Structure 1
Amino acid sequence: MLDMAEATRLARQFLDQEVSHEGMTFALVEGERTRVGTAYYFDCQSVAYLRTGDLRDMAIGTGYLRVDGETGECRMLGATESARLDLF
């Protein structure tokens, strides 16, 4: 079972390698992380929005990032799935 530090490392790596692209870079939202069962959940948002707070920079339609605590597999959840979880 992964601990929070390792899950956080994997989440950051996933955002950097799989989610961020030239037009929008993503980062974890500070303090918005939790463990539910064997999964870790992280809130993430565009780096530009986190820096400026300008709504024009906000990533829309994305949800939480989930890290499987057993396998380390990472995946982005959709906004609807994340809203149902209501974690943050």
Structure 2
Amino acid sequence: MLDIEEATKLAQKFLDEKVSHEGTALALVEGERAQVGSTFYFDCQSVAYLRTGDLRDLAVGTGYVRVDGETGECHMLGATESAQLDLF
């Protein structure tokens, strides 16, 4: 089973390689992570918003990054699914 640090690295790598687009880089929100059973959840937001706090840079409609603690598989949840989990 992964530990939280390994899962954090996988989640950011997933954002960098699979989710971020040119001009819309996403990053994990510091301190916004949770473990439920063997699954890890991370909140994410646009790098621009995390740097500036400017609402014009806010990534809207993004959900949590889910990392399976057994397999390391990463998946981006939708905003509705993330809101239903109510982790942060």
Q: TM range, normalised to the smaller chain? A: over 0.9
- Equivalent position SS for 2:67: strand
Spell out, residue by residue over 1:34-87, the C-alpha distance to the aligned partner (whole angstroms, 9 max, x if none).
100110000000000001111110111110000000100001000000000000
Q: In structure 1, what is the equivalent of residue 53 of structure 2?
A: 53
Partner of 1:23: 23
2: CA distance, partners of 1:21 / 1:84: 26
Letter in 2 for 1:34: A
Deviation at 1:23?
A: 2.0
The residue correspondences of 1:1-88 to structure 2 (distance < 5 A) are 1-88=1-88
Q: Which runs of 5+ in 1 are unaligned?
A: none
**Stretches of 4+ aligned residues off by more than 4 angstroms:** none
Q: How many angstroms apart in 1 are the aligned matches of 2:85 and 2:9? A: 22
State how many pairs are aligned.
88
TM-score (norm 2): 0.98
Shift of 1:21: 1.2
Alignment TM-score, normalising by the size of structure 1? 0.98
| Percent of residue pairs identical | 77
